[in-house]
Structure 1
Amino acid sequence: MTDVSQDSRRSARAEASRRAFYRFRQSRLSMVGATMVAVVLFFTLFGNLLAPYPEHVRGGLNTAERFQAPSLAHPFGTNELGQDVLSLVMAGTPVSVAAGFAVVLIGTVLGVVVGALAGFNGGWIDDVLMRFSDLMLTIPSLILAMAVAAALGPGFVNMIIAIALSWWPGYARLVRGEVLQAREEVYVAAARAIGASPARVLFRHILPNIVSPIIVKMSLDMGFAILTVAALGFIGIGVRPPTPEWGTLLSIARNYMPDFWWTAVFPGLAMFLAVFGFNLLGDGLRDVLDPRARR
Protein backbone atom coordinates (compact mmCIF):
# COMPACT_ATOMS: atom_id res chain seq x y z
CA MET A 1 0.00 0.00 0.00
CA THR A 2 2.85 2.36 0.86
CA ASP A 3 4.58 1.66 -2.46
CA VAL A 4 1.36 2.42 -4.34
CA SER A 5 0.98 5.70 -2.45
CA GLN A 6 4.58 6.72 -3.17
CA ASP A 7 4.21 5.85 -6.86
CA SER A 8 1.04 7.91 -7.00
CA ARG A 9 2.77 10.93 -5.45
CA ARG A 10 5.71 10.61 -7.85
CA SER A 11 3.33 10.40 -10.80
CA ALA A 12 1.45 13.47 -9.59
CA ARG A 13 4.68 15.44 -9.21
CA ALA A 14 5.87 14.36 -12.65
CA GLU A 15 2.55 15.39 -14.20
CA ALA A 16 2.65 18.75 -12.41
CA SER A 17 6.20 19.32 -13.67
CA ARG A 18 5.19 18.54 -17.25
CA ARG A 19 2.27 20.94 -17.06
CA ALA A 20 4.46 23.66 -15.57
CA PHE A 21 7.06 23.23 -18.31
CA TYR A 22 4.30 23.36 -20.93
CA ARG A 23 2.95 26.63 -19.51
CA PHE A 24 6.48 28.03 -19.43
CA ARG A 25 7.06 27.12 -23.07
CA GLN A 26 3.86 28.89 -24.09
CA SER A 27 5.45 32.24 -23.24
CA ARG A 28 7.93 33.26 -25.93
CA LEU A 29 9.45 35.96 -23.74
CA SER A 30 10.05 33.44 -20.97
CA MET A 31 11.84 31.15 -23.40
CA VAL A 32 13.91 34.09 -24.65
CA GLY A 33 14.82 34.90 -21.06
CA ALA A 34 15.75 31.30 -20.32
CA THR A 35 17.97 31.23 -23.41
CA MET A 36 19.68 34.48 -22.44
CA VAL A 37 20.26 33.23 -18.89
CA ALA A 38 21.67 29.97 -20.27
CA VAL A 39 24.17 31.96 -22.36
CA VAL A 40 25.11 34.09 -19.35
CA LEU A 41 25.61 31.00 -17.20
CA PHE A 42 27.72 29.40 -19.93
CA PHE A 43 30.10 32.35 -19.93
CA THR A 44 30.00 32.41 -16.14
CA LEU A 45 31.42 28.90 -16.14
CA PHE A 46 33.75 29.15 -19.11
CA GLY A 47 34.33 32.86 -19.72
CA ASN A 48 37.88 32.83 -18.37
CA LEU A 49 38.78 29.72 -20.36
CA LEU A 50 37.33 30.99 -23.65
CA ALA A 51 38.76 34.52 -23.52
CA PRO A 52 40.76 34.99 -26.77
CA TYR A 53 43.47 37.02 -24.99
CA PRO A 54 43.90 35.47 -21.52
CA GLU A 55 47.06 37.48 -20.89
CA HIS A 56 44.97 40.66 -21.02
CA VAL A 57 42.66 39.24 -18.38
CA ARG A 58 45.66 38.74 -16.11
CA GLY A 59 46.65 42.38 -16.53
CA GLY A 60 48.89 42.19 -19.60
CA LEU A 61 49.33 45.33 -21.69
CA ASN A 62 49.73 46.02 -25.40
CA THR A 63 50.03 49.79 -25.70
CA ALA A 64 50.86 49.55 -29.40
CA GLU A 65 47.21 48.56 -30.05
CA ARG A 66 45.41 50.88 -27.66
CA PHE A 67 41.95 52.15 -28.70
CA GLN A 68 41.68 49.87 -31.72
CA ALA A 69 38.15 49.94 -33.18
CA PRO A 70 36.19 46.66 -33.41
CA SER A 71 37.75 44.35 -36.00
CA LEU A 72 38.20 40.66 -36.74
CA ALA A 73 41.21 40.50 -34.45
CA HIS A 74 39.37 42.38 -31.68
CA PRO A 75 35.58 42.09 -32.18
CA PHE A 76 34.89 44.45 -29.26
CA GLY A 77 37.92 46.66 -29.89
CA THR A 78 40.68 47.45 -27.38
CA ASN A 79 40.84 49.81 -24.41
CA GLU A 80 43.30 52.47 -23.26
CA LEU A 81 45.87 49.80 -22.32
CA GLY A 82 45.56 47.89 -25.58
CA GLN A 83 43.63 45.09 -23.86
CA ASP A 84 41.01 43.15 -25.76
CA VAL A 85 37.58 44.33 -24.57
CA LEU A 86 35.90 41.04 -25.56
CA SER A 87 38.28 39.11 -23.29
CA LEU A 88 37.64 41.51 -20.41
CA VAL A 89 33.86 41.30 -20.84
CA MET A 90 33.95 37.49 -20.98
CA ALA A 91 36.22 37.28 -17.93
CA GLY A 92 34.03 39.81 -16.11
CA THR A 93 30.94 37.64 -16.48
CA PRO A 94 31.95 35.12 -13.76
CA VAL A 95 32.79 37.96 -11.37
CA SER A 96 29.55 39.91 -11.86
CA VAL A 97 27.19 36.93 -12.02
CA ALA A 98 28.86 35.03 -9.16
CA ALA A 99 28.75 38.13 -6.97
CA GLY A 100 25.07 38.67 -7.81
CA PHE A 101 24.23 35.03 -7.07
CA ALA A 102 26.11 35.14 -3.75
CA VAL A 103 24.26 38.31 -2.74
CA VAL A 104 20.87 36.80 -3.55
CA LEU A 105 21.71 33.51 -1.82
CA ILE A 106 22.95 35.14 1.39
CA GLY A 107 20.06 37.59 1.42
CA THR A 108 17.60 34.74 0.89
CA VAL A 109 19.00 32.63 3.73
CA LEU A 110 18.99 35.54 6.18
CA GLY A 111 15.55 36.70 5.10
CA VAL A 112 14.01 33.22 5.25
CA VAL A 113 15.33 32.63 8.77
CA VAL A 114 14.12 36.01 10.06
CA GLY A 115 10.75 35.86 8.29
CA ALA A 116 10.07 32.25 9.27
CA LEU A 117 10.84 32.87 12.94
CA ALA A 118 8.73 36.02 12.99
CA GLY A 119 5.72 34.53 11.24
CA PHE A 120 5.76 31.20 13.04
CA ASN A 121 6.30 32.46 16.59
CA GLY A 122 4.35 35.71 16.47
CA GLY A 123 4.13 37.86 19.58
CA TRP A 124 7.10 39.96 20.68
CA ILE A 125 9.49 37.98 18.45
CA ASP A 126 7.46 38.99 15.42
CA ASP A 127 7.29 42.61 16.56
CA VAL A 128 11.04 42.92 17.19
CA LEU A 129 12.16 41.19 13.98
CA MET A 130 9.68 42.99 11.74
CA ARG A 131 10.33 46.42 13.22
CA PHE A 132 14.03 45.86 12.61
CA SER A 133 13.25 44.78 9.04
CA ASP A 134 11.12 47.90 8.56
CA LEU A 135 13.99 50.01 9.82
CA MET A 136 16.35 48.42 7.31
CA LEU A 137 13.82 48.97 4.51
CA THR A 138 13.69 52.71 5.23
CA ILE A 139 17.35 52.99 4.21
CA PRO A 140 17.91 52.84 0.44
CA SER A 141 19.68 49.55 -0.25
CA LEU A 142 22.35 51.08 -2.49
CA ILE A 143 23.18 53.78 0.08
CA LEU A 144 23.44 51.17 2.85
CA ALA A 145 25.59 48.93 0.67
CA MET A 146 27.86 51.86 -0.17
CA ALA A 147 28.25 52.73 3.52
CA VAL A 148 29.05 49.15 4.55
CA ALA A 149 31.41 48.63 1.59
CA ALA A 150 33.22 51.87 2.39
CA ALA A 151 33.61 50.76 6.01
CA LEU A 152 34.84 47.26 5.13
CA GLY A 153 37.07 48.40 2.28
CA PRO A 154 37.14 47.40 -1.40
CA GLY A 155 37.22 43.75 -2.38
CA PHE A 156 35.06 40.95 -3.75
CA VAL A 157 34.02 39.41 -0.42
CA ASN A 158 33.45 42.75 1.31
CA MET A 159 31.28 43.87 -1.60
CA ILE A 160 29.09 40.76 -1.32
CA ILE A 161 28.71 41.19 2.44
CA ALA A 162 27.84 44.86 2.05
CA ILE A 163 25.10 44.24 -0.52
CA ALA A 164 23.71 41.12 1.21
CA LEU A 165 23.23 43.05 4.47
CA SER A 166 20.85 45.36 2.62
CA TRP A 167 19.11 42.59 0.66
CA TRP A 168 17.45 40.34 3.25
CA PRO A 169 14.51 42.49 4.54
CA GLY A 170 12.46 41.96 1.37
CA TYR A 171 12.72 38.18 1.79
CA ALA A 172 11.88 38.47 5.48
CA ARG A 173 8.63 40.30 4.70
CA LEU A 174 7.72 37.84 1.95
CA VAL A 175 8.41 34.72 4.04
CA ARG A 176 6.63 36.10 7.10
CA GLY A 177 3.46 36.66 5.10
CA GLU A 178 3.63 33.19 3.55
CA VAL A 179 4.26 31.54 6.92
CA LEU A 180 1.36 33.39 8.56
CA GLN A 181 -0.92 32.02 5.86
CA ALA A 182 0.54 28.51 5.78
CA ARG A 183 0.48 27.90 9.53
CA GLU A 184 -3.33 27.97 9.44
CA GLU A 185 -3.53 25.22 6.82
CA VAL A 186 -4.97 21.79 7.58
CA TYR A 187 -1.70 19.92 6.99
CA VAL A 188 0.01 22.04 9.67
CA ALA A 189 -2.75 21.28 12.16
CA ALA A 190 -2.45 17.59 11.29
CA ALA A 191 1.32 17.64 11.86
CA ARG A 192 0.84 19.29 15.24
CA ALA A 193 -1.87 16.77 16.14
CA ILE A 194 0.46 13.82 15.65
CA GLY A 195 3.06 15.41 17.93
CA ALA A 196 5.48 17.05 15.49
CA SER A 197 7.81 19.52 17.17
CA PRO A 198 7.57 23.23 16.25
CA ALA A 199 10.91 23.03 14.44
CA ARG A 200 9.73 20.05 12.39
CA VAL A 201 6.44 21.75 11.57
CA LEU A 202 8.28 24.84 10.36
CA PHE A 203 11.16 23.29 8.44
CA ARG A 204 9.56 20.05 7.28
CA HIS A 205 6.02 21.13 6.50
CA ILE A 206 5.69 24.90 6.14
CA LEU A 207 8.88 26.06 4.41
CA PRO A 208 8.86 23.39 1.65
CA ASN A 209 5.34 24.53 0.74
CA ILE A 210 6.22 28.22 0.38
CA VAL A 211 9.38 27.77 -1.67
CA SER A 212 7.75 28.80 -4.98
CA PRO A 213 7.42 32.56 -4.28
CA ILE A 214 10.95 32.55 -2.85
CA ILE A 215 12.36 31.06 -6.06
CA VAL A 216 10.45 33.60 -8.13
CA LYS A 217 11.80 36.50 -6.07
CA MET A 218 15.35 35.12 -6.29
CA SER A 219 15.16 34.92 -10.08
CA LEU A 220 13.82 38.47 -10.32
CA ASP A 221 16.39 39.78 -7.83
CA MET A 222 19.37 38.36 -9.73
CA GLY A 223 19.24 41.17 -12.27
CA PHE A 224 19.02 43.86 -9.59
CA ALA A 225 21.88 42.24 -7.65
CA ILE A 226 24.09 42.31 -10.75
CA LEU A 227 23.23 45.98 -11.24
CA THR A 228 24.07 46.76 -7.60
CA VAL A 229 27.40 44.93 -7.89
CA ALA A 230 28.16 46.94 -11.01
CA ALA A 231 27.13 50.17 -9.28
CA LEU A 232 29.62 49.61 -6.44
CA GLY A 233 32.32 48.76 -8.96
CA PHE A 234 31.44 51.87 -10.97
CA ILE A 235 31.98 54.21 -8.01
CA GLY A 236 35.18 52.44 -6.97
CA ILE A 237 34.23 50.59 -3.77
CA GLY A 238 33.59 47.17 -5.26
CA VAL A 239 35.95 44.93 -7.21
CA ARG A 240 39.11 46.81 -8.09
CA PRO A 241 41.28 46.55 -11.22
CA PRO A 242 42.96 44.54 -12.62
CA THR A 243 40.13 42.11 -11.85
CA PRO A 244 37.65 42.59 -14.74
CA GLU A 245 34.10 43.43 -13.66
CA TRP A 246 31.39 45.07 -15.73
CA GLY A 247 30.90 48.08 -13.44
CA THR A 248 34.64 48.70 -13.19
CA LEU A 249 35.02 48.47 -16.97
CA LEU A 250 32.26 51.04 -17.41
CA SER A 251 33.78 53.34 -14.82
CA ILE A 252 37.09 53.45 -16.67
CA ALA A 253 35.48 53.65 -20.12
CA ARG A 254 33.38 56.72 -19.27
CA ASN A 255 36.54 58.83 -19.44
CA TYR A 256 36.89 58.02 -23.14
CA MET A 257 33.33 58.57 -24.33
CA PRO A 258 32.14 59.22 -26.98
CA ASP A 259 35.32 58.99 -29.05
CA PHE A 260 36.07 55.40 -28.08
CA TRP A 261 32.49 54.27 -27.55
CA TRP A 262 33.18 50.54 -27.80
CA THR A 263 35.03 50.50 -24.45
CA ALA A 264 31.72 51.30 -22.69
CA VAL A 265 29.05 49.99 -25.06
CA PHE A 266 30.02 46.32 -24.95
CA PRO A 267 30.36 45.95 -21.14
CA GLY A 268 27.07 47.84 -20.81
CA LEU A 269 25.43 45.59 -23.40
CA ALA A 270 26.59 42.47 -21.55
CA MET A 271 25.11 43.83 -18.32
CA PHE A 272 21.84 44.72 -20.07
CA LEU A 273 21.45 41.25 -21.59
CA ALA A 274 22.14 39.53 -18.24
CA VAL A 275 19.68 41.70 -16.30
CA PHE A 276 17.02 41.54 -19.01
CA GLY A 277 17.35 37.76 -19.29
CA PHE A 278 16.94 37.18 -15.54
CA ASN A 279 13.90 39.50 -15.46
CA LEU A 280 12.21 37.64 -18.31
CA LEU A 281 13.00 34.31 -16.68
CA GLY A 282 11.62 35.54 -13.35
CA ASP A 283 8.37 36.62 -15.01
CA GLY A 284 8.03 33.19 -16.60
CA LEU A 285 8.69 31.39 -13.33
CA ARG A 286 6.18 33.59 -11.56
CA ASP A 287 3.48 32.62 -14.04
CA VAL A 288 4.32 28.94 -13.58
CA LEU A 289 5.02 28.70 -9.85
CA ASP A 290 2.69 31.32 -8.39
CA PRO A 291 -0.95 30.54 -9.33
CA ARG A 292 -2.16 33.83 -7.84
CA ALA A 293 0.04 35.82 -10.25
CA ARG A 294 -0.84 33.77 -13.31
CA ARG A 295 -2.35 35.75 -16.18
Structure 2
Amino acid sequence: MLVLRKFLRDLPAVVGLFIIGAAVLIALFGDPLLVDAADATRPDLRARLTPPNWDKPFGTDNLGRDIFTRVVMGTGGALTVALTVVAAAMAVGIPLGLYAGYTDGWASEGIMRITDIFLAVPQLILAIALAQIIGRGMDAAMAALAVTYWPFFTRTVYGETRRVRTMLFIEALEGLGAARWRILALHVLPNVAAPVIVRATIGMGFIILTTAVLGFLGVGAAPPSPDWGLAIAEGRRFMPDHWWMTAFPGLAILVLVLGFNLLGDGLRDLVDPRLRRSR
Protein backbone atom coordinates (compact mmCIF):
# COMPACT_ATOMS: atom_id res chain seq x y z
CA MET A 1 0.00 0.00 0.00
CA LEU A 2 2.87 2.38 0.76
CA VAL A 3 4.36 1.79 -2.69
CA LEU A 4 0.96 2.35 -4.29
CA ARG A 5 0.49 5.64 -2.43
CA LYS A 6 3.95 6.79 -3.53
CA PHE A 7 3.13 5.91 -7.10
CA LEU A 8 -0.24 7.70 -7.04
CA ARG A 9 1.48 10.86 -5.78
CA ASP A 10 3.66 10.82 -8.91
CA LEU A 11 1.38 12.68 -11.33
CA PRO A 12 3.50 12.12 -14.50
CA ALA A 13 3.59 8.37 -13.83
CA VAL A 14 -0.17 8.27 -13.27
CA VAL A 15 -0.68 10.17 -16.53
CA GLY A 16 1.56 7.65 -18.29
CA LEU A 17 -0.41 4.74 -16.84
CA PHE A 18 -3.66 6.38 -17.95
CA ILE A 19 -2.34 6.82 -21.50
CA ILE A 20 -1.22 3.20 -21.71
CA GLY A 21 -4.49 1.96 -20.22
CA ALA A 22 -6.48 4.00 -22.72
CA ALA A 23 -4.34 2.64 -25.58
CA VAL A 24 -4.93 -0.94 -24.43
CA LEU A 25 -8.70 -0.35 -24.27
CA ILE A 26 -8.64 1.20 -27.74
CA ALA A 27 -6.66 -1.74 -29.09
CA LEU A 28 -9.05 -4.27 -27.53
CA PHE A 29 -12.40 -2.58 -28.08
CA GLY A 30 -11.81 0.08 -30.73
CA ASP A 31 -13.43 -2.23 -33.28
CA PRO A 32 -16.44 -2.17 -33.22
CA LEU A 33 -17.07 0.39 -30.44
CA LEU A 34 -15.21 3.27 -32.10
CA VAL A 35 -14.61 2.29 -35.70
CA ASP A 36 -15.26 -0.32 -38.36
CA ALA A 37 -11.98 -2.09 -39.07
CA ALA A 38 -12.85 -2.44 -42.75
CA ASP A 39 -12.67 1.35 -43.16
CA ALA A 40 -8.94 1.21 -42.39
CA THR A 41 -8.18 -0.43 -45.72
CA ARG A 42 -11.27 0.35 -47.81
CA PRO A 43 -10.46 3.06 -50.40
CA ASP A 44 -12.99 5.71 -51.37
CA LEU A 45 -11.51 7.89 -54.10
CA ARG A 46 -14.53 10.21 -54.04
CA ALA A 47 -13.58 11.25 -50.49
CA ARG A 48 -9.80 11.42 -50.94
CA LEU A 49 -7.87 14.12 -49.09
CA THR A 50 -10.90 15.31 -47.15
CA PRO A 51 -9.83 17.66 -44.31
CA PRO A 52 -10.91 16.96 -40.72
CA ASN A 53 -14.64 17.47 -40.16
CA TRP A 54 -17.40 16.24 -37.87
CA ASP A 55 -17.90 13.07 -39.89
CA LYS A 56 -14.19 12.40 -40.39
CA PRO A 57 -12.45 13.95 -37.36
CA PHE A 58 -8.95 13.13 -38.68
CA GLY A 59 -9.81 13.54 -42.36
CA THR A 60 -9.01 11.05 -45.10
CA ASP A 61 -5.81 10.09 -46.90
CA ASN A 62 -4.93 10.08 -50.58
CA LEU A 63 -7.02 6.93 -51.13
CA GLY A 64 -10.02 8.20 -49.20
CA ARG A 65 -9.42 5.95 -46.19
CA ASP A 66 -10.52 7.27 -42.81
CA ILE A 67 -7.41 8.34 -40.90
CA PHE A 68 -9.13 8.13 -37.51
CA THR A 69 -9.94 4.48 -38.18
CA ARG A 70 -6.39 3.81 -39.32
CA VAL A 71 -4.95 5.45 -36.19
CA VAL A 72 -7.26 3.43 -33.94
CA MET A 73 -6.46 0.16 -35.70
CA GLY A 74 -2.76 1.00 -35.68
CA THR A 75 -2.82 1.16 -31.88
CA GLY A 76 -3.24 -2.58 -31.57
CA GLY A 77 -0.45 -3.21 -34.04
CA ALA A 78 1.94 -0.89 -32.21
CA LEU A 79 1.26 -2.51 -28.83
CA THR A 80 1.51 -6.02 -30.29
CA VAL A 81 4.89 -5.29 -31.84
CA ALA A 82 6.18 -3.71 -28.62
CA LEU A 83 5.01 -6.61 -26.44
CA THR A 84 6.35 -9.24 -28.83
CA VAL A 85 9.76 -7.64 -29.26
CA VAL A 86 10.25 -6.89 -25.56
CA ALA A 87 9.11 -10.40 -24.57
CA ALA A 88 11.50 -12.00 -27.06
CA ALA A 89 14.37 -9.77 -25.95
CA MET A 90 13.70 -10.61 -22.30
CA ALA A 91 13.55 -14.33 -23.07
CA VAL A 92 17.10 -14.12 -24.47
CA GLY A 93 18.64 -11.34 -22.42
CA ILE A 94 17.55 -12.29 -18.90
CA PRO A 95 18.97 -15.87 -18.86
CA LEU A 96 22.22 -14.68 -20.42
CA GLY A 97 22.52 -11.86 -17.91
CA LEU A 98 21.81 -14.17 -14.98
CA TYR A 99 24.37 -16.72 -16.10
CA ALA A 100 27.07 -14.19 -16.94
CA GLY A 101 26.51 -12.25 -13.73
CA TYR A 102 26.53 -15.26 -11.44
CA THR A 103 29.48 -17.11 -12.94
CA ASP A 104 33.06 -16.28 -13.86
CA GLY A 105 35.21 -17.57 -16.66
CA TRP A 106 35.40 -17.52 -20.42
CA ALA A 107 31.68 -18.13 -20.98
CA SER A 108 30.68 -15.15 -18.85
CA GLU A 109 33.28 -12.94 -20.51
CA GLY A 110 32.24 -14.11 -23.95
CA ILE A 111 28.58 -13.30 -23.33
CA MET A 112 29.38 -9.81 -22.11
CA ARG A 113 31.81 -9.04 -24.93
CA ILE A 114 29.19 -10.03 -27.51
CA THR A 115 26.69 -7.89 -25.61
CA ASP A 116 29.08 -4.93 -25.71
CA ILE A 117 29.54 -5.35 -29.46
CA PHE A 118 25.78 -5.14 -30.01
CA LEU A 119 25.49 -2.15 -27.68
CA ALA A 120 28.32 -0.36 -29.48
CA VAL A 121 26.30 -0.20 -32.72
CA PRO A 122 23.30 2.21 -32.83
CA GLN A 123 20.20 0.07 -32.56
CA LEU A 124 18.31 1.75 -35.38
CA ILE A 125 21.14 1.29 -37.87
CA LEU A 126 21.60 -2.34 -36.86
CA ALA A 127 17.84 -2.99 -37.02
CA ILE A 128 17.61 -1.51 -40.51
CA ALA A 129 20.52 -3.64 -41.71
CA LEU A 130 19.10 -6.83 -40.20
CA ALA A 131 15.61 -6.12 -41.53
CA GLN A 132 17.05 -5.74 -45.03
CA ILE A 133 18.89 -9.04 -44.67
CA ILE A 134 15.95 -10.95 -43.20
CA GLY A 135 13.44 -9.47 -45.61
CA ARG A 136 10.88 -6.71 -45.69
CA GLY A 137 7.69 -6.86 -43.66
CA MET A 138 6.55 -6.53 -40.07
CA ASP A 139 7.76 -10.00 -39.07
CA ALA A 140 11.25 -9.18 -40.28
CA ALA A 141 11.14 -5.83 -38.47
CA MET A 142 10.11 -7.49 -35.20
CA ALA A 143 12.85 -10.10 -35.53
CA ALA A 144 15.44 -7.41 -36.23
CA LEU A 145 14.31 -5.34 -33.24
CA ALA A 146 14.37 -8.36 -30.91
CA VAL A 147 17.89 -9.26 -32.04
CA THR A 148 19.07 -5.71 -31.35
CA TYR A 149 17.28 -5.20 -28.02
CA TRP A 150 18.21 -8.26 -25.96
CA PRO A 151 21.66 -6.83 -25.01
CA PHE A 152 19.96 -4.07 -22.98
CA PHE A 153 18.34 -6.69 -20.74
CA THR A 154 21.55 -8.71 -20.55
CA ARG A 155 23.56 -5.70 -19.39
CA THR A 156 20.90 -4.69 -16.83
CA VAL A 157 20.52 -8.19 -15.37
CA TYR A 158 24.27 -8.76 -15.38
CA GLY A 159 24.96 -5.69 -13.24
CA GLU A 160 22.17 -6.48 -10.78
CA THR A 161 23.16 -10.15 -10.53
CA ARG A 162 26.75 -9.18 -9.75
CA ARG A 163 25.44 -7.04 -6.90
CA VAL A 164 23.05 -9.67 -5.52
CA ARG A 165 25.45 -12.62 -5.67
CA THR A 166 27.71 -11.06 -2.99
CA MET A 167 24.88 -10.85 -0.44
CA LEU A 168 24.96 -13.06 2.64
CA PHE A 169 21.78 -15.01 1.86
CA ILE A 170 23.25 -16.12 -1.47
CA GLU A 171 26.43 -17.27 0.26
CA ALA A 172 24.30 -19.12 2.82
CA LEU A 173 22.37 -20.89 0.08
CA GLU A 174 25.59 -21.89 -1.64
CA GLY A 175 26.92 -23.18 1.69
CA LEU A 176 23.81 -25.30 2.12
CA GLY A 177 24.45 -26.85 -1.30
CA ALA A 178 21.48 -25.35 -3.14
CA ALA A 179 21.51 -25.98 -6.87
CA ARG A 180 22.65 -23.10 -9.05
CA TRP A 181 19.44 -23.04 -11.09
CA ARG A 182 17.40 -22.88 -7.88
CA ILE A 183 19.42 -19.96 -6.56
CA LEU A 184 19.12 -18.08 -9.85
CA ALA A 185 15.42 -18.76 -10.42
CA LEU A 186 14.06 -18.43 -6.88
CA HIS A 187 16.41 -15.98 -5.21
CA VAL A 188 18.46 -13.95 -7.68
CA LEU A 189 15.79 -13.34 -10.34
CA PRO A 190 13.19 -11.86 -7.93
CA ASN A 191 15.85 -9.45 -6.64
CA VAL A 192 16.72 -8.19 -10.13
CA ALA A 193 13.13 -8.04 -11.41
CA ALA A 194 12.46 -4.39 -10.54
CA PRO A 195 15.05 -2.81 -12.88
CA VAL A 196 14.06 -5.30 -15.59
CA ILE A 197 10.44 -4.13 -15.37
CA VAL A 198 11.59 -0.52 -15.65
CA ARG A 199 13.74 -1.37 -18.66
CA ALA A 200 10.86 -3.24 -20.29
CA THR A 201 8.43 -0.37 -19.76
CA ILE A 202 10.73 2.28 -21.20
CA GLY A 203 11.81 -0.16 -23.90
CA MET A 204 8.27 -0.61 -25.17
CA GLY A 205 8.06 3.10 -25.94
CA PHE A 206 11.41 2.94 -27.68
CA ILE A 207 10.32 -0.09 -29.71
CA ILE A 208 7.13 1.67 -30.83
CA LEU A 209 9.17 4.65 -31.98
CA THR A 210 11.75 2.48 -33.74
CA THR A 211 9.05 0.42 -35.44
CA ALA A 212 7.51 3.63 -36.75
CA VAL A 213 10.89 4.69 -38.10
CA LEU A 214 11.31 1.34 -39.86
CA GLY A 215 7.83 1.69 -41.35
CA PHE A 216 8.65 5.23 -42.47
CA LEU A 217 11.83 4.00 -44.17
CA GLY A 218 9.98 1.21 -45.94
CA VAL A 219 11.54 -1.77 -44.17
CA GLY A 220 8.69 -2.39 -41.75
CA ALA A 221 4.96 -2.64 -42.36
CA ALA A 222 3.72 -2.79 -45.94
CA PRO A 223 0.60 -1.20 -47.45
CA PRO A 224 -2.31 -1.29 -46.75
CA SER A 225 -1.37 -1.85 -43.10
CA PRO A 226 -2.56 0.98 -40.79
CA ASP A 227 0.95 1.32 -39.37
CA TRP A 228 1.66 4.80 -38.01
CA GLY A 229 5.16 5.10 -39.46
CA LEU A 230 3.95 3.93 -42.85
CA ALA A 231 1.09 6.45 -42.70
CA ILE A 232 3.57 9.29 -42.11
CA ALA A 233 5.68 8.10 -45.05
CA GLU A 234 2.63 8.01 -47.31
CA GLY A 235 1.49 11.45 -46.18
CA ARG A 236 4.77 13.32 -46.52
CA ARG A 237 4.23 13.66 -50.28
CA PHE A 238 1.13 15.71 -49.60
CA MET A 239 2.67 18.13 -47.10
CA PRO A 240 2.00 20.87 -46.16
CA ASP A 241 -1.41 21.32 -47.78
CA HIS A 242 -2.80 18.04 -46.45
CA TRP A 243 -1.06 18.11 -43.09
CA TRP A 244 -3.55 15.84 -41.34
CA MET A 245 -2.21 12.75 -43.11
CA THR A 246 1.02 12.94 -41.11
CA ALA A 247 -0.05 15.01 -38.08
CA PHE A 248 -2.46 12.55 -36.49
CA PRO A 249 -0.38 9.35 -36.86
CA GLY A 250 2.63 11.34 -35.59
CA LEU A 251 0.60 12.59 -32.63
CA ALA A 252 -0.44 9.01 -31.82
CA ILE A 253 3.23 7.94 -31.75
CA LEU A 254 4.13 10.92 -29.56
CA VAL A 255 1.38 10.31 -27.00
CA LEU A 256 1.92 6.55 -26.66
CA VAL A 257 5.72 6.78 -26.43
CA LEU A 258 5.35 9.59 -23.90
CA GLY A 259 3.01 7.42 -21.85
CA PHE A 260 5.53 4.57 -21.63
CA ASN A 261 8.36 6.95 -20.78
CA LEU A 262 6.38 8.68 -18.03
CA LEU A 263 5.36 5.34 -16.52
CA GLY A 264 8.90 3.99 -16.80
CA ASP A 265 10.32 7.07 -15.07
CA GLY A 266 7.79 6.69 -12.27
CA LEU A 267 8.65 3.03 -11.78
CA ARG A 268 12.35 3.90 -11.79
CA ASP A 269 11.74 6.43 -9.02
CA LEU A 270 10.11 3.71 -6.91
CA VAL A 271 12.88 1.20 -7.61
CA ASP A 272 15.82 3.55 -6.96
CA PRO A 273 15.06 6.91 -5.28
CA ARG A 274 18.65 7.99 -5.98
CA LEU A 275 17.66 8.36 -9.64
CA ARG A 276 14.55 10.39 -8.82
CA ARG A 277 13.95 13.01 -11.47
CA SER A 278 13.70 16.62 -10.41
CA ARG A 279 10.24 18.17 -10.38
After TM superposition, give the deviation of residue 96 of structure 1 in Å: 1.2
Q: Which runs of 4+ in 1 moved over 4 A?
A: none
Deviation readout 1:249-282 (Å, 9 max, x if unpaired): 1110111111001111000001100000110000
Task: Quickly say closer, same or farther: Cα 1:47–1:152, change in 2 above 3 A.
Answer: farther
- The CA distance in 1 between the partners of 2:85 and 2:58, in whole Å, is 29
SS at match of 1:133: helix
2:69 aligns with 87
Q: Contact 1:68 / 1:77 at 8 angstroms: preserved in 2?
A: yes
For residue 281 of structure 1, what is the amino acid of its counterpart? Answer: L
1:44 aligns with 27
For residue 112 of structure 2, what is the amino acid of its counterpart? Answer: M
- The CA distance in 1 between the partners of 2:265 and 2:134, in whole Å, is 35
Q: Contact 1:67 / 1:78 at 8 angstroms: preserved in 2?
A: yes
> Is 1:158 the equivalent of 2:143?
no
- The CA distance in 2 between the partners of 1:227 and 1:48, in whole Å, is 24
Pick aligned residue for 2:98 from 116, 122, 125: 116
Deviates more, 1:197-206 or 1:37-46: 37-46
1:136 aligns with 118
2:53 aligns with 71
- The CA distance in 1 between the partners of 2:33 and 2:215, in whole Å, is 24
SS at match of 1:165: helix
User: What percent of counterpart residues are identical?
Assistant: 38
- The CA distance in 2 between the partners of 1:240 and 1:114, in whole Å, is 34
After TM superposition, give the deviation of residue 197 of structure 1 in Å: 0.4
2:245 aligns with 263
Deviation readout 1:6-31 (Å, 9 max, x if unpaired): xxxxxxxxxxxx11110011111111
- The CA distance in 1 between the partners of 2:229 and 2:30, in whole Å, is 17
Q: Which runs of 5+ in 2 are unaligned?
A: none
Q: Contact 1:234 / 1:248 at 8 angstroms: preserved in 2?
A: yes
Deviates more, 1:62-71 or 1:185-194: 185-194
SS at match of 1:49: helix
Task: Quickly say closer, same or farther: Cα 1:156–1:277, change in 2 above 3 A.
Answer: same
> Is 1:204 the equivalent of 2:150?
no
- The CA distance in 2 between the partners of 1:93 and 1:277, in whole Å, is 13
Pick aligned residue for 1:167 from 149, 171, 175: 149
- The CA distance in 1 between the partners of 2:276 and 2:42, in whole Å, is 51
> Is 1:28 the equivalent of 2:2?
no
- The 5 Å alignment of 1:236-247 reads 236-247=218-229
> Is 1:272 the equivalent of 2:254?
yes
After TM superposition, give the deviation of residue 294 of structure 1 in Å: 4.1
1:13 aligns with none
2:84 aligns with 102
- The CA distance in 2 between the partners of 1:132 and 1:64, in whole Å, is 55
- The CA distance in 2 between the partners of 1:87 and 1:268, in whole Å, is 15
After TM superposition, give the deviation of residue 50 of structure 1 in Å: 3.5
Q: Contact 1:47 / 1:93 at 8 angstroms: preserved in 2?
A: no
1:56 aligns with 39
Q: Which runs of 5+ in 1 are unaligned?
A: 1-17
1:225 aligns with 207
Alignment coverage as a number of residue pairs: 277
Q: Contact 1:51 / 1:86 at 8 angstroms: preserved in 2?
A: no
Larger Rg: 1
For residue 170 of structure 1, what is the amino acid of its counterpart? Answer: F
Deviation readout 1:126-159 (Å, 9 max, x if unpaired): 2111111111112111111111111111222221
For residue 99 of structure 1, what is the amino acid of its counterpart? Answer: V
TM-score (norm 1): 0.91
- The CA distance in 2 between the partners of 1:275 and 1:83, in whole Å, is 25
- The CA distance in 2 between the partners of 1:105 and 1:248, in whole Å, is 24
TM-score (norm 2): 0.96
- The CA distance in 2 between the partners of 1:51 and 1:235, in whole Å, is 30
- The CA distance in 1 between the partners of 2:204 and 2:155, in whole Å, is 18
